Structure 1
Amino acid sequence: MSTAPQPPQRPSVRVTVAQLQVSDDHTANRQVVEDAFRTAARTRADVLVLPEYASGFDPRGVGAEHAEPLDGPFVTMLRDRARATGVAVLAGTTLPGDGGDARAVNAVVAVDGTGALVGVYRKVHLYDAFGHKESDRLVPGPVDAPPLVLDIGGLTFGVLTCYDLRFPESARRLVDAGAQVLVVPAAWASGELKAMHWRTLAIARAIENTAAVVAVGQAGKGVTGRSLVVAPDGVVGLEMDEQPQVRTVDLDGAALLRVREQNPSLANRRYTVVPVA
Protein backbone atom coordinates (compact mmCIF):
# COMPACT_ATOMS: atom_id res chain seq x y z
CA MET A 1 0.00 0.00 0.00
CA SER A 2 1.09 3.57 -0.63
CA THR A 3 2.53 5.62 2.21
CA ALA A 4 2.19 9.35 2.67
CA PRO A 5 4.80 11.25 0.59
CA GLN A 6 7.31 13.53 2.19
CA PRO A 7 6.97 17.29 1.61
CA PRO A 8 8.73 18.41 -1.58
CA GLN A 9 12.14 19.99 -1.26
CA ARG A 10 11.04 22.99 -3.34
CA PRO A 11 7.68 24.67 -3.96
CA SER A 12 7.56 23.42 -7.54
CA VAL A 13 9.37 21.33 -10.12
CA ARG A 14 9.71 22.81 -13.60
CA VAL A 15 9.00 20.47 -16.52
CA THR A 16 9.58 21.17 -20.20
CA VAL A 17 7.15 19.23 -22.41
CA ALA A 18 8.56 18.65 -25.90
CA GLN A 19 5.89 17.59 -28.38
CA LEU A 20 8.25 16.86 -31.24
CA GLN A 21 7.76 15.68 -34.79
CA VAL A 22 10.12 12.73 -35.18
CA SER A 23 11.31 11.32 -38.51
CA ASP A 24 13.33 8.30 -39.59
CA ASP A 25 16.42 10.53 -39.82
CA HIS A 26 18.23 9.94 -36.54
CA THR A 27 20.73 12.76 -37.06
CA ALA A 28 17.96 15.30 -37.67
CA ASN A 29 16.05 14.02 -34.63
CA ARG A 30 19.06 14.59 -32.39
CA GLN A 31 19.25 18.17 -33.61
CA VAL A 32 15.57 18.70 -32.76
CA VAL A 33 16.14 17.27 -29.28
CA GLU A 34 19.15 19.52 -28.77
CA ASP A 35 16.90 22.50 -29.59
CA ALA A 36 14.44 21.28 -26.96
CA PHE A 37 17.26 21.09 -24.43
CA ARG A 38 18.14 24.69 -25.18
CA THR A 39 14.56 25.73 -24.52
CA ALA A 40 14.50 23.74 -21.28
CA ALA A 41 17.76 25.31 -20.11
CA ARG A 42 16.58 28.80 -21.03
CA THR A 43 13.43 28.35 -18.95
CA ARG A 44 15.46 26.82 -16.09
CA ALA A 45 13.56 23.56 -16.23
CA ASP A 46 14.43 20.69 -13.92
CA VAL A 47 13.47 18.01 -16.44
CA LEU A 48 12.77 17.70 -20.15
CA VAL A 49 10.23 15.08 -21.28
CA LEU A 50 10.42 13.79 -24.84
CA PRO A 51 7.90 11.54 -26.62
CA GLU A 52 8.05 7.84 -27.35
CA TYR A 53 10.42 6.86 -30.19
CA ALA A 54 12.17 10.24 -29.98
CA SER A 55 15.34 8.81 -31.54
CA GLY A 56 13.63 7.62 -34.73
CA PHE A 57 10.09 6.95 -35.92
CA ASP A 58 8.10 5.56 -38.82
CA PRO A 59 4.29 5.71 -38.52
CA ARG A 60 4.09 2.36 -40.30
CA GLY A 61 5.96 0.74 -37.41
CA VAL A 62 9.28 0.89 -35.57
CA GLY A 63 11.60 -2.08 -35.18
CA ALA A 64 15.22 -3.18 -35.24
CA GLU A 65 16.08 -0.81 -38.10
CA HIS A 66 15.70 2.09 -35.65
CA ALA A 67 17.40 0.46 -32.66
CA GLU A 68 20.46 2.02 -31.03
CA PRO A 69 22.30 0.68 -27.96
CA LEU A 70 22.43 2.63 -24.72
CA ASP A 71 25.94 3.79 -25.61
CA GLY A 72 24.82 4.81 -29.11
CA PRO A 73 24.46 8.34 -30.53
CA PHE A 74 21.02 9.18 -29.13
CA VAL A 75 21.49 8.32 -25.46
CA THR A 76 25.05 9.64 -25.56
CA MET A 77 23.68 12.97 -26.81
CA LEU A 78 21.04 13.00 -24.05
CA ARG A 79 23.70 12.45 -21.43
CA ASP A 80 25.99 15.12 -22.87
CA ARG A 81 23.19 17.69 -23.05
CA ALA A 82 21.94 16.88 -19.56
CA ARG A 83 25.45 17.23 -18.18
CA ALA A 84 25.98 20.54 -19.98
CA THR A 85 22.64 22.08 -19.00
CA GLY A 86 21.84 20.46 -15.66
CA VAL A 87 18.44 19.44 -17.05
CA ALA A 88 17.33 15.85 -16.45
CA VAL A 89 15.60 14.10 -19.34
CA LEU A 90 13.07 11.30 -19.86
CA ALA A 91 13.02 10.13 -23.46
CA GLY A 92 11.54 7.36 -25.55
CA THR A 93 13.96 5.42 -27.71
CA THR A 94 14.42 2.01 -29.36
CA LEU A 95 17.02 -0.49 -28.15
CA PRO A 96 18.32 -3.68 -29.75
CA GLY A 97 16.67 -6.90 -28.60
CA ASP A 98 18.45 -9.18 -26.16
CA GLY A 99 19.56 -12.77 -26.66
CA GLY A 100 19.62 -12.73 -30.43
CA ASP A 101 15.96 -11.76 -30.81
CA ALA A 102 15.59 -9.99 -34.16
CA ARG A 103 13.01 -7.67 -32.69
CA ALA A 104 13.82 -4.43 -30.86
CA VAL A 105 12.79 -2.99 -27.48
CA ASN A 106 10.63 0.08 -26.98
CA ALA A 107 12.21 1.89 -24.03
CA VAL A 108 12.22 5.09 -22.02
CA VAL A 109 15.57 6.20 -20.64
CA ALA A 110 16.02 8.39 -17.58
CA VAL A 111 19.07 10.66 -17.38
CA ASP A 112 19.63 12.93 -14.39
CA GLY A 113 20.98 16.46 -14.38
CA THR A 114 24.56 15.25 -14.03
CA GLY A 115 24.30 13.21 -17.22
CA ALA A 116 24.10 9.85 -15.47
CA LEU A 117 21.87 7.18 -16.98
CA VAL A 118 19.77 6.32 -13.93
CA GLY A 119 17.17 3.98 -15.36
CA VAL A 120 15.57 2.29 -18.35
CA TYR A 121 11.93 1.26 -18.65
CA ARG A 122 11.19 -1.37 -21.29
CA LYS A 123 7.59 -1.12 -22.49
CA VAL A 124 5.47 -3.95 -21.11
CA HIS A 125 2.21 -3.51 -23.02
CA LEU A 126 2.87 -3.69 -26.76
CA TYR A 127 0.36 -2.04 -29.08
CA ASP A 128 -1.39 -5.04 -30.57
CA ALA A 129 -4.69 -3.23 -31.05
CA PHE A 130 -6.63 -1.05 -33.47
CA GLY A 131 -5.06 -2.83 -36.44
CA HIS A 132 -1.47 -2.47 -35.20
CA LYS A 133 0.88 -5.30 -34.14
CA GLU A 134 3.89 -3.96 -32.28
CA SER A 135 4.82 -7.45 -31.17
CA ASP A 136 5.84 -8.29 -34.74
CA ARG A 137 8.68 -5.78 -34.41
CA LEU A 138 9.21 -5.43 -30.66
CA VAL A 139 9.75 -7.69 -27.66
CA PRO A 140 7.94 -6.66 -24.46
CA GLY A 141 9.77 -5.71 -21.31
CA PRO A 142 9.64 -8.05 -18.30
CA VAL A 143 6.44 -7.59 -16.30
CA ASP A 144 8.26 -8.10 -13.01
CA ALA A 145 11.01 -5.54 -13.63
CA PRO A 146 11.28 -2.97 -10.83
CA PRO A 147 9.23 0.15 -11.58
CA LEU A 148 11.24 3.07 -12.93
CA VAL A 149 10.89 5.88 -10.39
CA LEU A 150 13.30 8.74 -9.79
CA ASP A 151 13.47 11.85 -7.66
CA ILE A 152 13.58 15.19 -9.45
CA GLY A 153 13.51 18.29 -7.28
CA GLY A 154 11.84 16.50 -4.39
CA LEU A 155 9.00 14.93 -6.40
CA THR A 156 9.04 11.28 -7.38
CA PHE A 157 8.48 10.66 -11.09
CA GLY A 158 7.30 7.28 -12.39
CA VAL A 159 7.58 6.19 -16.02
CA LEU A 160 5.25 4.30 -18.35
CA THR A 161 4.73 4.71 -22.08
CA CYS A 162 1.93 5.08 -24.63
CA TYR A 163 -0.31 1.95 -24.69
CA ASP A 164 0.50 1.38 -20.99
CA LEU A 165 -1.85 4.30 -20.32
CA ARG A 166 -4.80 1.99 -21.07
CA PHE A 167 -3.78 -0.30 -18.20
CA PRO A 168 -4.45 1.32 -14.82
CA GLU A 169 -2.38 -1.35 -13.04
CA SER A 170 0.78 0.04 -14.65
CA ALA A 171 0.21 3.47 -13.16
CA ARG A 172 -0.87 2.09 -9.78
CA ARG A 173 2.28 -0.04 -9.56
CA LEU A 174 4.34 3.12 -10.03
CA VAL A 175 2.34 4.92 -7.35
CA ASP A 176 2.93 1.98 -5.00
CA ALA A 177 6.64 2.54 -5.64
CA GLY A 178 6.26 6.18 -4.54
CA ALA A 179 5.43 8.00 -7.78
CA GLN A 180 3.73 11.38 -7.39
CA VAL A 181 4.07 12.29 -11.08
CA LEU A 182 3.26 9.83 -13.86
CA VAL A 183 5.22 10.51 -17.07
CA VAL A 184 3.82 9.05 -20.29
CA PRO A 185 5.96 9.50 -23.42
CA ALA A 186 3.82 8.42 -26.37
CA ALA A 187 3.39 8.23 -30.12
CA TRP A 188 -0.36 7.83 -29.71
CA ALA A 189 -1.75 6.58 -33.01
CA SER A 190 -4.35 8.81 -34.62
CA GLY A 191 -7.80 7.58 -35.61
CA GLU A 192 -11.46 7.64 -34.64
CA LEU A 193 -11.93 8.47 -30.94
CA LYS A 194 -8.19 8.15 -30.29
CA ALA A 195 -7.62 11.76 -29.15
CA MET A 196 -10.61 11.45 -26.82
CA HIS A 197 -9.26 8.20 -25.37
CA TRP A 198 -5.81 9.77 -24.83
CA ARG A 199 -7.20 12.75 -22.96
CA THR A 200 -9.73 10.78 -20.94
CA LEU A 201 -7.25 8.13 -19.85
CA ALA A 202 -4.62 10.69 -18.82
CA ILE A 203 -7.17 12.48 -16.65
CA ALA A 204 -8.42 9.19 -15.19
CA ARG A 205 -4.90 8.09 -14.25
CA ALA A 206 -4.41 11.42 -12.46
CA ILE A 207 -7.67 11.30 -10.51
CA GLU A 208 -7.56 7.66 -9.45
CA ASN A 209 -3.92 7.92 -8.31
CA THR A 210 -4.05 11.50 -6.96
CA ALA A 211 -0.92 12.00 -9.06
CA ALA A 212 0.09 14.56 -11.64
CA VAL A 213 0.26 13.19 -15.18
CA VAL A 214 2.67 14.50 -17.82
CA ALA A 215 1.52 12.89 -21.08
CA VAL A 216 3.80 13.84 -23.96
CA GLY A 217 2.81 12.80 -27.47
CA GLN A 218 4.52 12.99 -30.82
CA ALA A 219 3.28 15.43 -33.44
CA GLY A 220 3.09 14.58 -37.11
CA LYS A 221 1.70 12.04 -39.54
CA GLY A 222 -0.13 9.09 -38.00
CA VAL A 223 0.03 10.33 -34.42
CA THR A 224 -2.22 12.45 -32.22
CA GLY A 225 -0.03 15.05 -30.53
CA ARG A 226 -2.25 16.76 -27.94
CA SER A 227 0.19 16.53 -25.04
CA LEU A 228 -1.28 17.47 -21.70
CA VAL A 229 -0.34 17.98 -18.08
CA VAL A 230 -2.99 17.02 -15.54
CA ALA A 231 -3.05 17.95 -11.86
CA PRO A 232 -3.77 15.30 -9.19
CA ASP A 233 -7.37 16.53 -8.96
CA GLY A 234 -7.92 15.98 -12.69
CA VAL A 235 -7.68 19.61 -13.76
CA VAL A 236 -5.84 20.00 -17.08
CA GLY A 237 -3.24 22.72 -16.69
CA LEU A 238 -1.59 22.45 -20.11
CA GLU A 239 -3.00 21.07 -23.33
CA MET A 240 -1.49 21.26 -26.81
CA ASP A 241 -2.95 20.81 -30.29
CA GLU A 242 -1.52 18.59 -33.03
CA GLN A 243 1.41 20.84 -33.98
CA PRO A 244 5.03 20.48 -32.78
CA GLN A 245 5.72 22.72 -29.82
CA VAL A 246 7.72 22.96 -26.61
CA ARG A 247 6.14 24.32 -23.42
CA THR A 248 7.25 24.57 -19.80
CA VAL A 249 5.07 24.15 -16.71
CA ASP A 250 5.55 24.05 -12.95
CA LEU A 251 4.33 21.11 -10.87
CA ASP A 252 3.22 22.20 -7.40
CA GLY A 253 4.30 19.61 -4.84
CA ALA A 254 2.41 21.24 -1.99
CA ALA A 255 -0.81 21.17 -4.02
CA LEU A 256 -0.29 17.46 -4.66
CA LEU A 257 -0.03 16.80 -0.94
CA ARG A 258 -3.21 18.77 -0.31
CA VAL A 259 -5.10 16.71 -2.89
CA ARG A 260 -3.93 13.48 -1.26
CA GLU A 261 -5.00 14.75 2.15
CA GLN A 262 -8.45 15.73 0.90
CA ASN A 263 -8.90 12.56 -1.15
CA PRO A 264 -7.08 9.70 0.65
CA SER A 265 -8.16 7.12 -1.90
CA LEU A 266 -4.73 5.49 -1.96
CA ALA A 267 -4.89 4.91 1.80
CA ASN A 268 -8.46 3.58 1.46
CA ARG A 269 -7.53 0.87 -1.06
CA ARG A 270 -8.36 -2.77 -0.46
CA TYR A 271 -6.48 -4.37 -3.38
CA THR A 272 -2.86 -4.50 -4.49
CA VAL A 273 -1.35 -4.85 -7.96
CA VAL A 274 0.91 -7.78 -8.78
CA PRO A 275 2.48 -8.73 -12.14
CA VAL A 276 0.89 -11.55 -14.15
CA ALA A 277 3.23 -13.85 -16.04
Structure 2
Amino acid sequence: MDKIAVAQTTSSGNWRENIEKAKQYIKKATEEEAVMIIFPEYFMNYYPDAEHNYTKKAQSLHGEFVQAMKMLAKEFKMWIIFGMNEQTVDETKNYNTMVILNDLGELVSDYKKTHLFNAYKWNESMNTLKGDCLFTPIKTPAGVIGLGICYDLRFPELARYEALSGAQVMLYPAAWVKGEGKFMQWETLLRARAIENEMYVLGCCHYSKEHYMGRSTGFAPDGTRLYLGEEKEELLYAQIDKEQIQNIRTANPVFENRRRDLYD
Protein backbone atom coordinates (compact mmCIF):
# COMPACT_ATOMS: atom_id res chain seq x y z
CA MET A 1 0.00 0.00 0.00
CA ASP A 2 1.15 3.54 -0.78
CA LYS A 3 0.27 6.71 1.09
CA ILE A 4 -0.76 9.97 -0.57
CA ALA A 5 -0.81 13.19 1.49
CA VAL A 6 -3.59 15.71 0.87
CA ALA A 7 -2.60 19.26 1.89
CA GLN A 8 -5.75 21.25 2.69
CA THR A 9 -4.13 24.68 2.79
CA THR A 10 -4.85 28.40 2.58
CA SER A 11 -2.66 30.32 0.14
CA SER A 12 -1.69 33.98 0.19
CA GLY A 13 -1.10 36.34 -2.70
CA ASN A 14 2.65 36.07 -2.08
CA TRP A 15 4.11 33.01 -3.79
CA ARG A 16 7.20 32.99 -1.55
CA GLU A 17 5.00 32.57 1.53
CA ASN A 18 3.31 29.64 -0.18
CA ILE A 19 6.67 28.00 -0.84
CA GLU A 20 7.41 28.14 2.89
CA LYS A 21 4.03 26.60 3.64
CA ALA A 22 4.68 23.88 1.07
CA LYS A 23 7.97 23.02 2.74
CA GLN A 24 6.28 22.59 6.13
CA TYR A 25 3.61 20.28 4.73
CA ILE A 26 6.03 18.27 2.59
CA LYS A 27 8.29 17.73 5.61
CA LYS A 28 5.32 16.39 7.62
CA ALA A 29 4.26 14.14 4.76
CA THR A 30 7.80 12.75 4.49
CA GLU A 31 7.79 11.94 8.20
CA GLU A 32 4.56 9.98 7.64
CA GLU A 33 6.19 8.10 4.73
CA ALA A 34 3.88 9.45 2.03
CA VAL A 35 5.14 9.01 -1.54
CA MET A 36 3.17 11.94 -2.95
CA ILE A 37 1.57 15.16 -1.75
CA ILE A 38 -1.26 17.08 -3.41
CA PHE A 39 -1.77 20.82 -2.95
CA PRO A 40 -5.02 22.50 -4.02
CA GLU A 41 -6.10 24.64 -6.92
CA TYR A 42 -4.81 28.24 -6.70
CA PHE A 43 -1.89 27.20 -4.51
CA MET A 44 0.72 29.54 -6.01
CA ASN A 45 -1.50 32.63 -5.72
CA TYR A 46 -4.84 32.97 -3.95
CA TYR A 47 -7.84 33.68 -6.17
CA PRO A 48 -9.71 36.00 -6.27
CA ASP A 49 -7.00 38.52 -5.45
CA ALA A 50 -8.14 41.39 -3.23
CA GLU A 51 -5.61 43.64 -4.97
CA HIS A 52 -7.06 42.75 -8.40
CA ASN A 53 -3.66 41.83 -9.84
CA TYR A 54 -3.99 38.03 -9.86
CA THR A 55 -3.22 37.72 -13.57
CA LYS A 56 -0.14 39.94 -13.24
CA LYS A 57 1.31 37.48 -10.69
CA ALA A 58 1.28 34.62 -13.19
CA GLN A 59 4.48 32.71 -13.90
CA SER A 60 5.61 30.25 -16.53
CA LEU A 61 6.27 26.56 -15.95
CA HIS A 62 9.96 27.53 -15.85
CA GLY A 63 9.44 30.40 -13.38
CA GLU A 64 10.69 30.91 -9.85
CA PHE A 65 7.75 29.20 -8.15
CA VAL A 66 8.04 25.96 -10.10
CA GLN A 67 11.82 25.99 -9.70
CA ALA A 68 11.45 26.35 -5.92
CA MET A 69 8.93 23.50 -5.80
CA LYS A 70 11.31 21.35 -7.87
CA MET A 71 13.98 21.90 -5.24
CA LEU A 72 11.58 20.76 -2.50
CA ALA A 73 10.64 17.64 -4.48
CA LYS A 74 14.30 16.76 -4.90
CA GLU A 75 15.23 17.58 -1.30
CA PHE A 76 12.46 15.51 0.25
CA LYS A 77 12.30 12.87 -2.53
CA MET A 78 8.58 13.45 -2.86
CA TRP A 79 6.17 13.56 -5.79
CA ILE A 80 4.38 16.93 -5.64
CA ILE A 81 1.22 18.13 -7.39
CA PHE A 82 0.16 21.76 -7.06
CA GLY A 83 -1.93 24.49 -8.65
CA MET A 84 -0.67 27.71 -10.20
CA ASN A 85 -1.76 30.52 -12.51
CA GLU A 86 0.33 30.04 -15.62
CA GLN A 87 1.28 32.84 -18.00
CA THR A 88 -0.29 32.93 -21.45
CA VAL A 89 0.17 35.16 -24.48
CA ASP A 90 -2.81 37.17 -23.20
CA GLU A 91 -1.66 39.34 -20.28
CA THR A 92 -5.24 39.64 -19.01
CA LYS A 93 -5.80 35.89 -18.73
CA ASN A 94 -3.92 32.93 -17.23
CA TYR A 95 -4.21 29.18 -17.43
CA ASN A 96 -5.45 27.47 -14.28
CA THR A 97 -2.74 24.80 -14.21
CA MET A 98 -1.78 21.80 -12.12
CA VAL A 99 1.88 20.77 -12.17
CA ILE A 100 3.24 17.30 -11.43
CA LEU A 101 6.81 16.90 -10.21
CA ASN A 102 8.50 13.57 -9.54
CA ASP A 103 10.77 12.74 -6.62
CA LEU A 104 13.83 13.79 -8.63
CA GLY A 105 12.45 17.30 -8.98
CA GLU A 106 11.55 16.87 -12.64
CA LEU A 107 8.40 18.30 -14.22
CA VAL A 108 6.77 15.18 -15.65
CA SER A 109 3.37 16.57 -16.64
CA ASP A 110 0.93 19.46 -16.33
CA TYR A 111 -2.77 20.01 -16.94
CA LYS A 112 -4.62 23.19 -17.85
CA LYS A 113 -8.20 23.27 -16.51
CA THR A 114 -10.63 22.54 -19.34
CA HIS A 115 -14.02 23.29 -17.71
CA LEU A 116 -14.13 26.84 -16.32
CA PHE A 117 -16.34 27.81 -13.38
CA ASN A 118 -18.91 30.12 -14.96
CA ALA A 119 -21.63 29.41 -12.43
CA TYR A 120 -23.08 30.54 -9.09
CA LYS A 121 -22.28 34.19 -9.96
CA TRP A 122 -18.59 33.34 -10.63
CA ASN A 123 -17.09 33.92 -14.07
CA GLU A 124 -13.70 32.22 -14.19
CA SER A 125 -13.38 32.78 -17.92
CA MET A 126 -13.01 36.54 -17.34
CA ASN A 127 -9.36 35.97 -16.40
CA THR A 128 -8.68 32.35 -17.32
CA LEU A 129 -8.20 30.58 -20.64
CA LYS A 130 -9.55 27.07 -21.20
CA GLY A 131 -7.10 24.22 -21.58
CA ASP A 132 -7.55 22.46 -24.90
CA CYS A 133 -6.86 18.84 -23.97
CA LEU A 134 -7.61 16.33 -21.24
CA PHE A 135 -4.92 14.95 -18.97
CA THR A 136 -3.12 11.78 -20.01
CA PRO A 137 -2.74 9.48 -16.96
CA ILE A 138 0.83 8.84 -15.82
CA LYS A 139 2.57 6.16 -13.77
CA THR A 140 3.65 7.14 -10.24
CA PRO A 141 4.68 5.20 -7.11
CA ALA A 142 1.03 5.40 -5.97
CA GLY A 143 -0.32 3.94 -9.20
CA VAL A 144 -1.45 5.42 -12.49
CA ILE A 145 -2.99 8.79 -11.72
CA GLY A 146 -5.56 10.85 -13.57
CA LEU A 147 -6.25 14.51 -12.94
CA GLY A 148 -9.08 17.04 -13.05
CA ILE A 149 -9.49 20.45 -11.42
CA CYS A 150 -12.48 21.47 -9.29
CA TYR A 151 -15.37 22.18 -11.71
CA ASP A 152 -14.10 19.32 -13.92
CA LEU A 153 -15.63 17.02 -11.29
CA ARG A 154 -19.11 17.86 -12.57
CA PHE A 155 -18.30 16.32 -15.97
CA PRO A 156 -18.26 12.51 -15.55
CA GLU A 157 -16.97 11.90 -19.06
CA LEU A 158 -13.61 13.37 -18.05
CA ALA A 159 -13.13 10.79 -15.28
CA ARG A 160 -14.38 7.97 -17.53
CA TYR A 161 -11.96 8.98 -20.28
CA GLU A 162 -9.07 8.85 -17.83
CA ALA A 163 -10.23 5.53 -16.34
CA LEU A 164 -10.37 4.07 -19.85
CA SER A 165 -6.86 5.47 -20.37
CA GLY A 166 -5.57 3.47 -17.41
CA ALA A 167 -6.09 5.73 -14.37
CA GLN A 168 -6.22 3.90 -11.04
CA VAL A 169 -6.30 7.03 -8.86
CA MET A 170 -8.19 10.16 -9.93
CA LEU A 171 -7.12 13.42 -8.27
CA TYR A 172 -9.29 16.53 -7.99
CA PRO A 173 -7.40 19.49 -6.53
CA ALA A 174 -10.06 22.14 -6.01
CA ALA A 175 -11.18 25.44 -4.57
CA TRP A 176 -14.79 24.39 -3.99
CA VAL A 177 -16.78 27.48 -3.11
CA LYS A 178 -18.80 27.47 0.11
CA GLY A 179 -22.59 27.52 -0.09
CA GLU A 180 -25.80 25.73 0.73
CA GLY A 181 -25.63 22.12 -0.40
CA LYS A 182 -22.11 22.49 -1.78
CA PHE A 183 -20.49 19.90 0.50
CA MET A 184 -23.24 17.41 -0.31
CA GLN A 185 -22.54 17.90 -4.01
CA TRP A 186 -18.75 17.68 -3.56
CA GLU A 187 -19.01 14.48 -1.54
CA THR A 188 -21.61 12.87 -3.81
CA LEU A 189 -19.74 13.59 -7.03
CA LEU A 190 -16.40 12.36 -5.70
CA ARG A 191 -17.98 9.13 -4.43
CA ALA A 192 -19.87 8.62 -7.69
CA ARG A 193 -16.69 9.02 -9.78
CA ALA A 194 -15.03 6.38 -7.57
CA ILE A 195 -17.86 3.83 -7.73
CA GLU A 196 -18.72 4.16 -11.41
CA ASN A 197 -15.06 3.89 -12.49
CA GLU A 198 -13.92 1.49 -9.74
CA MET A 199 -10.89 3.60 -8.89
CA TYR A 200 -9.63 5.76 -6.05
CA VAL A 201 -10.86 9.35 -6.21
CA LEU A 202 -9.18 11.94 -3.98
CA GLY A 203 -10.42 15.49 -3.48
CA CYS A 204 -8.07 18.18 -2.15
CA CYS A 205 -9.94 21.41 -1.45
CA HIS A 206 -8.49 24.83 -0.73
CA TYR A 207 -9.65 26.28 2.60
CA SER A 208 -10.26 29.95 3.34
CA LYS A 209 -12.63 31.85 5.61
CA GLU A 210 -13.79 34.01 2.70
CA HIS A 211 -14.48 31.58 -0.13
CA TYR A 212 -13.49 27.92 0.08
CA MET A 213 -14.87 25.22 2.33
CA GLY A 214 -11.96 22.84 2.85
CA ARG A 215 -13.64 19.56 3.89
CA SER A 216 -11.43 17.55 1.54
CA THR A 217 -12.55 13.97 1.17
CA GLY A 218 -11.71 10.90 -0.88
CA PHE A 219 -13.06 7.47 -1.66
CA ALA A 220 -11.90 3.94 -2.40
CA PRO A 221 -13.08 2.07 -5.54
CA ASP A 222 -16.05 0.63 -3.62
CA GLY A 223 -17.14 4.07 -2.34
CA THR A 224 -15.69 3.70 1.16
CA ARG A 225 -14.54 7.02 2.59
CA LEU A 226 -10.78 7.34 3.11
CA TYR A 227 -10.52 10.70 4.92
CA LEU A 228 -12.57 13.80 5.71
CA GLY A 229 -11.16 17.23 6.45
CA GLU A 230 -12.68 19.98 8.54
CA GLU A 231 -13.01 23.70 7.79
CA LYS A 232 -9.38 24.50 8.56
CA GLU A 233 -5.87 23.94 7.26
CA GLU A 234 -4.69 20.38 7.81
CA LEU A 235 -2.79 17.47 6.32
CA LEU A 236 -4.80 14.36 5.47
CA TYR A 237 -3.79 10.95 4.12
CA ALA A 238 -5.13 8.28 1.79
CA GLN A 239 -3.84 4.71 1.63
CA ILE A 240 -3.82 3.33 -1.91
CA ASP A 241 -4.16 -0.45 -2.33
CA LYS A 242 -3.80 -1.22 -6.03
CA GLU A 243 -4.81 -4.84 -5.46
CA GLN A 244 -8.22 -3.63 -4.24
CA ILE A 245 -8.80 -1.93 -7.60
CA GLN A 246 -8.19 -5.17 -9.45
CA ASN A 247 -10.35 -7.20 -7.06
CA ILE A 248 -13.31 -4.84 -7.47
CA ARG A 249 -12.95 -4.67 -11.25
CA THR A 250 -12.83 -8.47 -11.41
CA ALA A 251 -15.93 -8.89 -9.23
CA ASN A 252 -17.88 -6.24 -11.14
CA PRO A 253 -16.30 -5.87 -14.61
CA VAL A 254 -18.02 -2.63 -15.67
CA PHE A 255 -15.46 -1.91 -18.36
CA GLU A 256 -15.98 -5.33 -19.95
CA ASN A 257 -19.77 -5.03 -19.67
CA ARG A 258 -19.84 -1.50 -21.06
CA ARG A 259 -21.62 -1.34 -24.43
CA ARG A 260 -18.82 0.07 -26.54
CA ASP A 261 -20.92 -0.43 -29.66
CA LEU A 262 -23.41 2.17 -28.41
CA TYR A 263 -20.86 4.92 -27.73
CA ASP A 264 -18.63 6.94 -30.00
* TM-score when normalising by structure 1: 0.89
Please state whether the residue corresponding to 2:114 is helix, strand or coil: coil
Distance 1:273 1:146 in 2: 19
Provide closer, same or farther for how the CA distance between residues 35 and 194 of structure 1 changes in structure 2, counting only shifts above 3 A.
same
Distance 2:53 2:124 in 1: 8
Measured after TM superposition, the shift of residue 65 of structure 1 is: 2.6
* Aligned twin of 2:236: 247
Deviations 1:6-60 (A, max 9, x none): xxxxxx1210110001121222111111111111111121100110011011346
Q: Does residue 1:111 correspond to 2:101, yes or no?
A: yes
* Aligned twin of 2:130: 140
Deviations 1:198-255 (A, max 9, x none): 1110001001110101100011121011111200011111111111001233211111
Asked whether the 8 Å contact 1:43–1:248 carries over to 2, the reply is: no
Please state whether the residue corresponding to 2:158 is helix, strand or coil: helix
* Aligned twin of 1:80: 71
Measured after TM superposition, the shift of residue 273 of structure 1 is: 7.5
Distance 1:95 1:58 in 2: 13
* Aligned twin of 1:5: none
Which amino acid in 2 is paired with 1:172?
R
Which amino acid in 2 is paired with 1:35?
Q
Asked whether the 8 Å contact 1:13–1:152 carries over to 2, the reply is: no
The structure with the greater share of residues assigned to helix is 2
Gaps of 5+ in 2: none
Measured after TM superposition, the shift of residue 146 of structure 1 is: 5.3
Deviations 1:119-150 (A, max 9, x none): 110000000011100000100000xx352322
Higher relative contact order (CA 8 A, sep 6+): 1
Asked whether the 8 Å contact 2:97–2:111 carries over to 1, the reply is: yes
Measured after TM superposition, the shift of residue 68 of structure 1 is: 1.2
Correspondent of 1:94 among 53, 68, 85: 85
Asked whether the 8 Å contact 1:96–1:104 carries over to 2, the reply is: yes
Distance 2:122 2:142 in 1: 39
Deviates more, 1:259-268 or 1:52-61: 52-61
Provide closer, same or farther for how the CA distance between residues 258 and 21 of structure 1 changes in structure 2, counting only shifts above 3 A.
same
Distance 1:202 1:135 in 2: 24
* Aligned twin of 2:32: 43
Asked whether the 8 Å contact 2:99–2:107 carries over to 1, the reply is: yes
Count the aligned residue pairs: 260
Deviations 1:140-176 (A, max 9, x none): 000xx35232211261011111000000011111112
Query: Please, what is the CA RMSD of the aligned residues?
Result: 1.7
Which amino acid in 2 is paired with 1:162?
C
Which amino acid in 1 is paired with 2:159?
A
Deviates more, 1:235-244 or 1:246-255: 246-255
